[in-house]
Structure 1
Amino acid sequence: MSYILSSLVPFFRKNPKLLFLVDGIGALLTLMFLSIVLPAIRQFIGIPLKALHFLAVIAIVLLLYSTACYFLNPLKYRFFVKIIAFANLTYFFITVGTVIFYYDQMTLWGFFYFGLEALIILALVVLELLIGSDRRTL
């Protein structure tokens, strides 16, 4: 995984605006899963609807922030990338906390979905922190 991340860093260093687009698309996909797909199959996931809706609200906030940054085109990308990195990290911890809280109700499919989501979020956070901390980023 580190090879993939290290190959993405030069690209996003030159095009930091696209990192907001990637983040926004990820937040949109998460929102769609949390608000449409998972509620429809929640008996196979094991997390109550209220918890899915709570996570979906956070995904909406992340989607709005990333989309705004992409379209507003801020001059100081590094600062705004760091904000979304820490927001994503917070979402990661909230998601892990939700999984722990509902551990006894979760199914294997639920662990698989949220585990995969957690890995993707962590990879994105690492990428965002690398870009946000790199002085060579535009």
Structure 2
Amino acid sequence: MLEKLIHNPKFVFLFDAVGALLTCTLIGGLLVSYQSYIGLPFTWLYILASIAAVLTTYSSLCAVWIQKKWSPFLKIIITANTLYACLTTALIIIYSQELKSLGFAYFIGEILVLIGVIL
């Protein structure tokens, strides 16, 4: 049954939209509130949350409106998720001295989840 869902484009877009919404909510709401325990500057937290909001909107719209020829739209979201993971990785490296353990754990976890979604 899971195999059928994975190969259903609507499910893939909805799954991605829910994940991006969760990311947006966690970063934009929770991590910003506890920035001193995360270590990443506010500006980058807001940028990451904003990107996640855009990806939430894109995936949601694709899930609702794309009926056929969904492959190019799926390639866009795969590319966007890959770039988001690369940006997050770069931020971990650049801010490795400022990041707290909780920040490392969150962002490494997010990258691992993204790799699973991308694959």
User: What range describes the TM-score normalised by the shorter chain of this pair?
Assistant: over 0.9
Which residue is equivalent to 1:26? 19
CA distance in 1 between counterparts of 2:15 and 2:44 reads 25
CA distance in 1, matches of 2:9, 2:47: 29
Instruction: Give the one of 26, 29, 32 matched to 1:39.
Output: 32
Alignment of structure 1 residues 1-138 onto 2, 5 Å: 8-13=2-7, 15-126=8-119
TM-score computed with the length of structure 2 as normaliser:
0.93
Distance 1:64 1:103 in 2: 31
Q: CA deviation at 1:60?
A: 1.4
Contact kept in structure 2, 1:17 and 1:77, CA below 8 Å: no
Q: Deviations over 1:13-60 (max 9, x none)?
A: 2x2111100000000000001111001111111111111001111111
Counterpart residue number, 1:129: none
Q: In structure 2, how many angstroms separate the alpha carbons of the residues matched to 1:85 and 1:9?
A: 19
Q: Percent identity?
A: 36
> Unpaired runs of 5+ in structure 1?
1-6, 127-138
Moved more, 69-78 or 35-44: 69-78
Q: Unpaired segments of 5 or more residues in structure 2?
A: none
CA deviations on 1:81-132 (whole Å, 9 max, x unpaired) are 1111111001000111111111110011111000000000010000xxxxxx
